[in-house]
Amino acid sequence: MATNTGTVLVLITGTMTFTNEWLQTKEINWKIPIATLLGAVVVDGIAQITGGGGTALGLMVLIAGAATPINGKSPIQEIATVLPTGKPTSKNLQKVS
C-alpha cells in the first residue's frame, strides 16, 4: 500500500505542533495527537478519491500549522529564535588586508 503524501504532511504538522506546544508550556496536550490522527484519516480518505486533492490539503495544513501561533509562538517563530539571523556583527567580521 502506497503512502499518501498529504497524510504524511498532516502527520508532520501534528508532530511539529505537539513539539512546539510541549516546548513552550512543558505540558503534554493529548488533544493534538488525537486531532492529528483524525485529520490524517480524513486527508487519506480524500486522497483515495482524488490523490492531488489529498496532497494539496496536506500542504495547506502544513503551512497553516507552521505559521499559526498557539499559546505564544508559531513553530516558524520558535525555529527562528534558535537559528542565527545571518546579520554580520563586529565579532564575525574579519579585516581583509
Task: DSSP letter for 3, please.
Answer: P
Q: What is the pLDDT of residues 1-32, one digit of tens each?
A: 467 899 999 999 999 999 999 988 899 999 99
CB neighbour list of residue 58: distance below 8 Å, 6 or more residues apart:
4, 5, 6, 7, 8, 9, 10, 43
Q: What is the pLDDT of residues 34-44, one digit of tens each?
A: 999 999 999 99
> pTM of the full predicted structure?
0.80
